[in-house]
Every structure is written in structure tokens, then in C-alpha cells.
Amino acid sequence: MIFTLAWREIRSMFMSPLAWVILGVVQALMGWLFLNHVNNYMSVQSQLLGMQTPIGLTDIVVASVFGNAAIILLLVVPLITMRLVSEERRNRTLTLLYSAPLSMTEIILGKYLGILFFLLIVLLLVALMPLSLLAGGNLDFGTFGAGFIGLALLLASFAAVGLFMSTLTQNPTIAAVSTFGMLLLSWVLDTGGQGASDNVLAYFSLLNHYEPFLKGVFDSADAVFYILLIVTFLVLSTRRLDADRLGG
Amino acid sequence: MSNNLLVEVDSVSRYFGDLAAVNDVSFTVSKGTVLGFLGPNGAGKTTTMQMITGNLAPTSGRITIAGHDLLDEPRAAKACIGYLPEQPPLYLEYTVDEYLDFCAALNRIPKKQRLGARQQAKARCGLADVGKRLTGNLSKGYRQRVGIAQAIIHQPQVVILDEPTAGLDPIQIREIRTLVRELSQQHAVILSTHILPEVQSSCDHVQIIDRGKLVLNDSIDGLTQRMQSSTLSLRFKSSVDSSQIEQLDGVRSTRQLGDGHYQVYYQAGQDPTDALVKLAVDNHWGLRELMPEKASLEDMFLELTEHNKPQAEART
């Protein structure tokens, strides 16, 4: 049942131009940045060889590409998640789901799974770029794998936040703007001043937990942070749909 | 509690803030009946239907669908319901076939039976020719039919239609009435409408709701009997002394409508026609016309909903 709903999300995304445009634009931007990073690497290659602990292709190109992807997708994910629930609410099609023998959890999970599938496509397309370096060099697959998993978790968290924002309103634009707000805030949380008290806030910064992955460190605490965040927002979304029925 | 009772609504209320949209409404619907739900705008028809279909939770009261409590076993209860909301819930980017297949899947129809279910629903709603068209490109009438097809695709025991004939042309309205009749053979149907003749032609049970309260709950037969109301229309050559008429047995009151034109209200079952004729002849009033007046459903509707107003206000 969850898959039926997920499949509908995927279909309706690809039936509208939005999904294609997003895939195209993200790919074009990432391609440009990727080429830049490769170019950078080429220009500093000779100096790197002289260093005592040489940093390689993976450290420079892969980490930068995944780092850029996180920022670009932070701006793009709200556009994909905005219509998830809000549009159905506005078109009154949510009634169809409420009247069907489905639980609210199934509705939320179905929608979330559909978005995850789309983001997986984005992720694979992004990952293909560093992988193309294999044609002429070697990659550190440990670092690459950590970065890949990190980006996957980060995107999944973005999507969960976006889904929740979409359940709050019947206007997709409002959902998109508030998701932007949330995600950007979580990005800049760690930039405010120094001192012990700031560390608490910085801990909640989504991107802070992403950094270690880029360095090739898979810290389970960071992974758990993302998973908890995802679960929290999915539960909140379910609650919100329930409130539709109860509230008034 | 017999097995035939498909919908049981037990003193259900729904408040929006302080406003009681539905106030202590109880009724039952059994298999094979078509229940017509009437009421002025904002009376609580849609709210009641949303509660029966699980779209809104009642503030108090219990709803049981085919023996399943809507709160305790929502999934089993909802599986027995097909619901067409006021606005058909269509995904406009889907073709009719795709949409109906999705609805079939939502209602857990096994994959192998989906094609059959879709064909049957399409045939019943006259959609055979438009299967490949986008629902977004269909006319209002066709969208409405797709909405009905969606509601009956899983052969639910209870079909709930919120204003199914809104926006349709007369031919389509007739088709939908036929469809409702057909449905009632296997399912229980609840339909809301504000078109009164529709109720008389397609329902066998009528409920009138006003300001959240049920003001009438009667079968169509009972209603017809009520409507053979106790009014006579009389026309004489000229004005007469109506006090003499009022003294006749059973007469409640008279009303002068014009020169020599009277309405006589009498107690049900005490038809004073014979005595009236005799009186007219004895007094040489020159009786020109004597006609029993039938109240229409519309009169009844107006009477019930207007009468209720002061009472409702007095209570709050």
C-alpha cells in the first residue's frame, strides 16, 4: 500500500516538468562545479606531490563535489517536497486518501518513500561525476562511500523537514518558503559567535554533522542524529494529518 | 441489532469551536435503502457525511459501519465505504483508467481483479468511452461520474454521495438517478442534495437536517402521507361568513386568500368536505371550487426548517 502511494508520487513528479527541470538544472550546475574542481586539482597536482602527507584526488574532488551538492540540494529539495501534501489538500484529493482504508502513517510513509526515490536518482547522478574519474585515476572508495552515505542521510533529512512543512499548509509556496527557512537556519546555526553555549546550537546544525562524512569519517553518532531527525519529522507529519481530522 | 443495519450513527455531535455544526444526530441506514439527506446550506449535511466517512472525527457520539466502529477499527470500517465528496477528488494529471486503477489499489483490490473492477465501474457510470482521456480535460459531468466510479469501484456496502447531481445536465441527472437506484439493490446509499424532487424520485428514506439538528426522519411513504395534508381550497361566489366553517367538526382554522377564496385547515383524518358542501348549499353560498391541497416536499421543507429557527435560538 505504501508502495502504491510512493509510486503515485513518483509518477506525478515525472508527469510534470518540474522533476525533469530540477534534474537538468542540478546536473548542469554540478557538472560545472565538478569540472572546476578537477581543474583546480590539475593545477595544484604538482605541489601536492611534494607534500609530506599528500592529499589525493578523492580528498579534493569528491569532498568538494559532495560538499557543493549539499548546498545546491538544500535549495532544491524544498521545491520538490512543497507540493507533497499541500497540493492534495488544496485540490481536495486528500479526502480520497482519508476515506480509503489507509492509516495516516501509511500516507506519510508512502509520500516520503516517493520523494526518497526521486532523491536517490539525484544522488546517483551526482555520484556518477566523481566516479567518472575512475577512467583516468584512482578513488579512495572508503572516503567516497562515506560521502555518499552522508549526502544520502542529509537529503533524507531535508525531505523529512520538507514533508512536514507541506503538511502544515495548503499552499505549496508557503511550504517551500518555510522549508527554505528551516534548512537555511539549520545551516547557519553554527556560524553565530564562539563559546560554549553556541556549541549546543551548533550541534543541531544539519551541515555540521555532514562534515565528518566528507572527510571519510563514518561516525555512527552523526548517522543516528539524522535518523532521529527523520523519524521525528515523520511522526510530526503523521500527527499533523491526524489533527486535520480532529481539529476544527 | 440486525445484520442489515449498515450505518449506525449514535448521537453524534461535532463542534467547530463554539459552533455546533452537527448536534446530537442519530440515525441508521439498512441495506437496500437510499437515504436522502436534505438541508439548507450550512446545515451540517457535509459535516455529517465527512464524519461517517472518517474524514472528520466526531466531538462525541459513535459511528458504526457494517458492525465496525469507525474509531476502533477505522480500516475495516472504511473498507465498507465509498465516498464521493462535494468536489470529486481527481488527480487531474491521470487518465480515467489510471485514476481508477489507483483507487482500486488504494482500496486493496488484488491486482488480478483490478481490471475487472475498473471495467465494471466504468460501465456502470457510463465512462466506457473516456478511459484514455485525462481527468483534467473532462467536463464537469464526466468528472462527477469518475468521482462516482471511484466511490463504487471496490463494491462497498455503503455508498455516500455528496450532491452527486450538482452541475449535471438533465439527462445526466436522470442517468445518475438510475444509477443510484441500481446501486441500492446491493448497497446502502446515502446521498445529500438540495434538489427536492430528486429526493422524491430516488430515495426511500428522507432526513432533513437544519442547523445541525435532525428535524425530520421519515420514509418516503410516511412523508407522502404527511404531505396529503389537511388543507382544502374553497372558492365561493362571494365572501362568506367563515366563522360558520370554523364551527364544523375537525376544522382547525380558515384563512381568506381573496374575494370568496378560502383555505380551510383541518385535523388529519377528520375530512370536513361533506359537511362543508352541505353548509354551502344550505346557506346558498354558491360553491364554485373545492380542492384538497397537497403540500409539496418544498412546503414541508420550508415549514420544518423555518419553524425550527426560533426553537434553535431559544435553546442556545
Render pLDDT for A91-144 as a digit per residue (tens, 0 to 9).
889 999 999 999 999 999 999 999 999 999 999 999 999 888 888 777 888 889
Q: Count of A–B CB contacts within 8 Å?
A: 68
Closest Cβ opposite residue B106 in set A102, A245, A248: A102
Q: What is the ipTM of this complex?
A: 0.85
Question: What superfamily would CATH give domain B5-225?
Answer: P-loop containing nucleotide triphosphate hydrolases (3.40.50.300)
A15 contacts B92? CB cut-off 8 A: no
Q: Please tell me the distance in Å from A98's CA to the nearest CA on chain B.
A: 6
Whether pLDDT at B314 is above 70: no
| Distance between CA atoms of residues A196 and A193, nearest Å | 10
B89 contacts A93? CB cut-off 8 A: yes
Average pLDDT, chain B: 84
Model confidence band, residue B315 (pLDDT cutoffs 50, 70, 90): very low
Which CATH architecture fits B230-293?
2-Layer Sandwich (3.30)
Instruction: Give me the residue spans of the domains in chain B.
Output: 5-225, 230-293
Span B50-77, mean pLDDT? 90
Percent of chain A past pLDDT 70, that is, above it, reads 94
B75 contacts A248? CB cut-off 8 A: no
The per-residue pLDDT for A206 is: 83
| Distance between CA atoms of residues A94 and A102, nearest Å | 12
Residues of A in contact with B57 (CB under 8 A): 245-246
Hey, which bits of chain B come out as E strands?
5-16, 19-30, 34-38, 60-65, 68-69, 81-84, 158-162, 188-193, 205-210, 213-219, 231-236, 251-258, 261-266, 287-293
A15 contacts B55? CB cut-off 8 A: no
Percent of chain B past pLDDT 90, that is, above it, reads 25
Query: CA dist A13 to A111, B68, B111, B114, Å?
Result: 11, 37, 24, 24
Q: Is A49 helix (H, G, I), strand (E, B) or coil?
A: helix
- Give the least confident one: A178-192, B200-214, B293-307: B293-307
Cell 584512482: give the residue.
A138
Beta strand pairing call for B60-65 and B213-219: unpaired
DSSP letter, residue B219: E
Span B109-113, mean pLDDT? 91
Q: Which of the two residues, B223 and B75, has the higher pLDDT score?
A: B75
The three three-digit cell numbers of residue B135, written as one number: 481527468
Residue A246, chain B, CB below 8 Å: the answer is: yes
Interface of A with B in 56-95 (CB under 8 A): 91-95
> Which residue segment(s) compose the domain that A78 sits in?
2-46+53-246
Closest Cβ opposite residue A99 in set B15, B54, B93: B54
pLDDT tens digits, B152-172: 999 899 999 998 887 778 888
Residue A3, chain B, CB below 8 Å: the answer is: no
Residues of B in contact with A8 (CB under 8 A): 91, 102
Number of domains composing chain A: 1
Residues in CB range of B103: below 8 A, 6 or more apart: A96, A100, B150, B153, B154
pLDDT tens digits, B13-45: 998 888 888 988 999 998 888 998 888 888 888
A4 contacts B106? CB cut-off 8 A: yes
| Distance between CA atoms of residues B29 and A46, nearest Å | 85
Model confidence band, residue A25 (pLDDT cutoffs 50, 70, 90): very high
Interface of B with A in 76-105 (CB under 8 A): 76, 78-79, 81, 83, 85, 87, 89-93, 102-103, 105
Nearest CA in chain A to B159: A99
The per-residue pLDDT for B279 is: 85
- Assess contact for A86 and A172: CB atoms under 8 A: yes
A248 contacts B56? CB cut-off 8 A: yes
